[in-house]
Amino acid sequence: MKTLSKRLREEQKKRKKNLLYSPNEAISLVKATASAKFNESIEAHISLNIDPKYADQQLRTTVILPHGTGKALRIAALTSPEHLKEVQNAGADIWGSDDLIETISKGILPFDLLITTADMMPKLAKLGRVLGPKGLMPSPKAGTVTANLKMTIDEFKKGKLEYRADKHGVVHISFGKADFLEEKLIENLQTFYNSIEINRPSGVKGKYIKNLTICSTMGPGIAIDFTTFLI
């Protein structure tokens, strides 16, 4: 059995068991329990009444958080040679054409996100074994295969992120950092919740959302009364 640290045991005492907190109360508490010696990420974990093995109950989409995640995202842009200057000026951290494909083929992945255009996807097909396990293969659903590289780079730099339900029907995201103002964390969380509601899979019957919990990287889970969110 995993032994809880003294720090975590102390933080758990600040949380009342079996209590559903309002979003505002939960955000205040999650900041108060983020006591590690680094700037912890603030995470949301939402359990859905879906079975992802069925096509009409799968959830995979993107959302733009108004205040970003607090994480510096290294974006690589794969494009044809004539557009390299464009993506460089757009703010891509890494850019290239066949040379970038060669780098990736060697297992060198100095980026967190790979963006490309549809015409370049055939060249990436052979790199599925390298990119797939890392979750870096571009796809239209993730918003990383695009006709407008400049706009897409800008959106991801500002806080756009992909999320998907895992095989248990749970979505996990980071929606800020412990040093964010409470107002910014609440706005990010509300935006994420709205996106979950808007993208309800067509095959869902009855109750859609089971529960919503937030926590810091090293802190205890705090359950939220999501029915108090305004849609």
Looking up residue 108, the CATH number of its domain turns out to be: 3.40.50.790
Examine the domain organization and report whether 168 and 193 are in the same domain. yes
Which is it for strands 41-48 and 75-78: parallel, antiparallel or unpaired?
unpaired
Examine the domain organization and report whether 116 and 11 are in the same domain. no
Residue from 53, 31, 57 nearest 42 by CA: 31
H-helix or E-strand containing 129?
helix 128-131
Examine the domain organization and report whether 45 and 101 are in the same domain. no
Q: Is 194 a domain residue?
A: yes
What is the chain's pLDDT, residue by residue, as a tens digit (231 residues)?
Answer: 455 666 566 666 666 677 899 999 999 999 999 988 999 999 999 999 999 999 999 999 999 999 999 988 899 999 999 999 999 999 999 999 999 999 999 999 999 999 999 999 999 988 999 999 998 999 998 899 999 999 999 999 888 999 999 999 999 999 999 999 999 999 999 999 999 999 999 999 899 999 999 999 999 999 999 988 765
Examine the domain organization and report whether 184 and 124 are in the same domain. no
How many Å separate Cα 188 from the centre of its chain?
11
Examine the domain organization and report whether 107 and 180 are in the same domain. no
Examine the domain organization and report whether 64 and 166 are in the same domain. yes
Examine the domain organization and report whether 11 and 84 are in the same domain. no
Domain endpoint, select from 107, 135, 158: 158
- Structural domain for 186, as ranges: 7-69+160-228
Q: What pLDDT, on the 0 to 100 scale, is given for residue 229?
A: 79
* C-alpha to C-alpha distance for 193 and 213, rounded to whole angstroms: 12
Domain endpoint, select from 158, 188, 207: 158
Examine the domain organization and report whether 149 and 139 are in the same domain. yes
Cα–Cα distances in Å, from 27 out to 16, 58, 138, 213, 230? 14, 29, 33, 11, 16
Q: What pLDDT, on the 0 to 100 scale, is given for residue 231?
A: 57
Amino acid present at 57: Q
Number of domains present in the structure of the chain: 2
Q: Is 2 a domain residue?
A: no
Task: Give the residue carrying structure tokens 């890392």.
Answer: 134
Q: What pLDDT, on the 0 to 100 scale, is given for residue 141?
A: 85
Examine the domain organization and report whether 147 and 166 are in the same domain. no
pTM (2 d.p.): 0.82
* C-alpha to C-alpha distance for 46 and 60, rounded to whole angstroms: 14
Q: What pLDDT, on the 0 to 100 scale, is given for residue 194?
A: 96
Examine the domain organization and report whether 148 and 184 are in the same domain. no
CATH number at 167 reads 3.30.190.20
**Surface-to-core class of residue 26, CB atoms within 10 Å of its CB (0-12 exposed, 13-18 middle, 19+ buried):** buried
